[in-house]
Amino acid sequence: MSGALCGLWVDEAGRVHTALESLDGGRETRIETLRPFAWLRAGEFPAGEGVRVDALAGEGFFGELAQAEDLPCFEAWLAAAKAAGAKALDVIRPLESQFLLQTRRRLFADLPFARLRRCQIDIETGSADGGFSDAARPEDRVLAIGLRCGGENRFLVLEAEDDAAEKALLERFNATLAELDPDTLEGHNLFKFDLDYLRQRAKRHKLPCAWGRFGQRAKFRNSRLKVAERWVDFPRCDLPGRTVIDTYLLVQLHDITARELTGYGLKEVALYFGVTSEEDARTYLAGDGIATAFRSDRERFLAYLGDDLRETAGVADLLLPTYFEQVKSFPILLQEATLRGNTGKIDLLFLEHYYHARQACPVPPEVAPFEGGYTRSFQEGVYRHVLHFDVASLYPSLLLLLGRNPRNDSLGVFIPLLRSLREYRLRYKQLARSAPAAEERAEAQARQASFKILINSFYGYLGFSGARFGDGELAAEVTRRGRELLQGLIEAFAAEGCTILEADTDGIYLSSEKHYAAPEALLAKVAAILPAGIELEHDGSYEAMWCYKAKNYALRDGERVVLKGSALRSRGIEPFLKKLTGHLIRHLLGLEAESPRSRLEELRRQIAARELPVTELAKTETLSMNPDAYERLIAEGGKPRRAAAEAALRLARRPRMGERVSYYLVPKSKGRTADWARARPVTEWDPARPETAYDPEAYLEKLDEWVERHGALFGLSPPAGMQGELF
């Protein structure tokens, strides 16, 4: 019996190369067959050599299915159709997804995460001038390649600092990767730095990037990923039969909802996730000290490289399982799962049903704007004895209660699929609590978390214009019922003597000294108003809550502070102001006895004397445009000019769109008063060079603005006309 499918690649001839888990845990390769297909509008284009076109049942824009004997026939037919002006064609890409959909197979099905063959990679590089290493410079080079597989490190180290030794190092890397034969290659900032650097050096030495399975080379192309409201550009690398996992991107996707990280560097992320604690004896090296340690302290250099590998593995341990479990549900490659939004994944689930039922498919409908969930802030200030109640999976539960499929779902897939996924989730949720082995519980937890994300995405899918089976009217009906339900709960809690603090879509924060010690009793009273199938849960108790403004608040959970809302944890806030706000919040929540007054006074003194390090003052922003494109825009008279973009133009290695740039402001001068004209990258600051000094007045003004917003909270207000002084 065949083992789990662990790798998949369709070659140019249409042969499907698969890697299967063997009985001894190894990987066996096989070649299978793909019969590529496409949906098309009835009468759009006739059959061709090796391609048959069949009519589909039901109503739908794509009323025919073209299916080919092999890929060359399919590509020739597709080219002919496009040349003839045919536009109403729909082809699933990549072809690996076609194969999975067609055969109803899934990657890693029934394979525990612990049996996934994972390899972490990190490289260290050196430069001839001691600055940032640039792969395009002949004299810069790779110093070492670290690989971690199965928890064991392998260090491939440059034996001499010359071209011949670097070529030999890259050849050893190719051979070692083939020997290890991992399913995944994981790294932090792997696309933008490690793999791209290795690619450029391999090209210089006329070596193949032989990193894929089945004897295949790596394939590179420019790509972009949407992370919340911004785009991230990166040079994507695909390894046939393997998965490239960039934890730098996974961390950003994770932070869309958490919004707690101020930066995405490996060291900071490892501390945030607890992979490394501040008490751990982690080896740290400054960027300009890595090459020096390579030459003079090899033990320390390798310890630093080993810690980078360990932290990468630890971060991936936490973030990768959700995507690993997703590919057991979707006909999709693991790498695609990490880089593709939920709408495309859900579409594939529906299309699988429609393909096998030979049912006509719709095009995505236009979805008109509709009113969202109920959101309201009821109070301002600090409240004690805070309880949070949450309606479990509100929108999916309402969808199941309504029992209506989207209007263009002629096969009626939506509700049955949602119901079965919910049943799967509940089953694994129970196993996460009751399974006898810790490994089983962890696996079940990852699966139930993955199903939860998927189930909650079904509602968002309905209201998205790009969703093939979207239905704005059904989505609007769900939100209407959700608003009514939440308003009913607010009234019920208020009737029990609770002070309502904040309500947002499916959850309510309230203050109640009476019910604080027994929230389940309060829950039982209020939950009685809910219809069958809708469950209210007690989601947390907090000693205190600071209600700042709508959707922005701070919660005290023991000694920990939980921040919600961009106003309190914006990544664009300068570090000195962020720390000052943190001090204020801890003071308001009863965790810090001393008010921020003394710290405020000390900050004013340090800034005026230019004693505060520039890193405390620097603003960090994400680039919304590539610096080269921004430079062309400005040269052509375009606006507006942006401080972060101007600072990026001054960097030796220009960052890409989506990367973060830290900058500070130098003093005003004639013709240089706007922030963009005074912005300098932090790397330019040198306390020994007066011309790089920061502008104290600019940062004292920022302190004044902070006091204007928050001073009244601790008895401090600025008198009119007094700028730059302690009030």
Read off the pLDDT of residues 487-508 as tens digits, 9 standing for 90 and up. 999 999 999 999 999 999 899 9
Asked if the structure places residue 426 within a domain, the reply is: no
Q: What is the pLDDT at residue 688?
A: 87
Same-domain status, 251 and 159: yes
Same-domain status, 563 and 574: no
Asked which of 569, 590, 622 is the last residue of a domain, the reply is 569
Same-domain status, 514 and 615: no
Alpha-carbon torsion angle 634, 640, 641, 643, nearest 10: -150
| Average predicted confidence (pLDDT) for the chain | 92
Same-domain status, 561 and 581: no
Q: What is the pLDDT at residue 281?
A: 82
Contact of 478 with 465, CB cutoff 8 Å:
no
Asked if the structure places residue 351 within a domain, the reply is: no
Q: What is the pTM of this model?
A: 0.85
Asked if the structure places residue 359 within a domain, the reply is: no
Alpha-carbon torsion angle 697, 701, 702, 703, nearest 10: 100
Q: What is the pLDDT at residue 659?
A: 81
Residue 726 confidence class, pLDDT cut points 50, 70, 90: very low
Asked which of 104, 131, 147 is the last residue of a domain, the reply is 104
Asked if the structure places residue 362 within a domain, the reply is: no
Same-domain status, 259 and 316: yes
Same-domain status, 12 and 62: yes
Q: What is the pLDDT at residue 429?
A: 87
Alpha helices in 366-471 (DSSP H): 394-402, 414-434, 438-462
Read off the pLDDT of residues 317-349 as tens digits, 9 standing for 90 and up. 999 998 999 999 999 999 999 999 888 999 999
Mean pLDDT, to the nearest integer, of 3-20?
96
Mean pLDDT, to the nearest integer, of 93-108?
97
Read off the pLDDT of residues 550-559 as tens digits, 9 standing for 90 and up. 889 999 999 9
pLDDT at 486 over 90: yes
Asked if the structure places residue 406 within a domain, the reply is: no
Residue 123 confidence class, pLDDT cut points 50, 70, 90: very high
More confident residue, 440 or 474: 474
* Paired sense of beta strands 184-187 and 118-126, if any: parallel
- Summary count for the chain: helices (H), strands (E): 23, 24
Could you list the beta-strand ranges (E) of 284-440. Answer: 375-377, 381-391
Same-domain status, 664 and 614: yes
Give me the CATH number covering residue 388: 3.90.1600.10
Asked if the structure places residue 407 within a domain, the reply is: no
Give percent above pLDDT 90 in the chain. 76
Q: What is the pLDDT at residue 724?
A: 31
Distances (CA, A) of 703 to 281, 306, 600: 37, 42, 8
Find the range with the poorest average confidence among 24-28, 127-131, 253-257, 545-549: 127-131
Contact of 409 with 361, CB cutoff 8 Å:
no
- The C-alpha atoms of residue 676 and residue 671 are separated, in whole angstroms, by 12
Domain span at 581: 570-714
Of 125, 130, 267, residue with least CA distance to 194: 125
Same-domain status, 636 and 504: no
Residue 717 confidence class, pLDDT cut points 50, 70, 90: low
180, HSE (Cβ side, Cα atoms, 13 Å): 27
Q: What is the pLDDT at residue 721?
A: 38
Same-domain status, 547 and 635: no
Read off the pLDDT of residues 138-147 as tens digits, 9 standing for 90 and up. 999 999 999 9
- The C-alpha atoms of residue 686 and residue 680 are separated, in whole angstroms, by 12
Longest dimension (CA), the chain: 84
Residue 720 confidence class, pLDDT cut points 50, 70, 90: very low
- At 620 the three-state DSSP class reads strand
Cβ of 611: how many Cβ atoms within 10 Å?
Answer: 10
**Number of domains the chain contains:** 4
Backbone angles phi, psi at 140, to 5 degrees: -85, 155
Asked if the structure places residue 363 within a domain, the reply is: no
Same-domain status, 272 and 133: yes
- At 530 the three-state DSSP class reads coil
Asked if the structure places residue 669 within a domain, the reply is: yes
CA-angle at 313, arms to 311 and 315, nearest 5°: 70
pLDDT at 580 over 90: yes
Radius of gyration from C-alpha coordinates of the chain: 29
Give me the CATH number covering residue 219: 3.30.420.10
Give me the CATH number covering residue 625: 1.10.132.60
Same-domain status, 544 and 580: no
- At 549 the three-state DSSP class reads strand
Same-domain status, 645 and 669: yes
Read off the pLDDT of residues 400-441 as tens digits, 9 standing for 90 and up. 999 999 999 999 999 999 999 888 888 888 898 898 988 888
Backbone angles phi, psi at 61, to 5 degrees: -60, -45
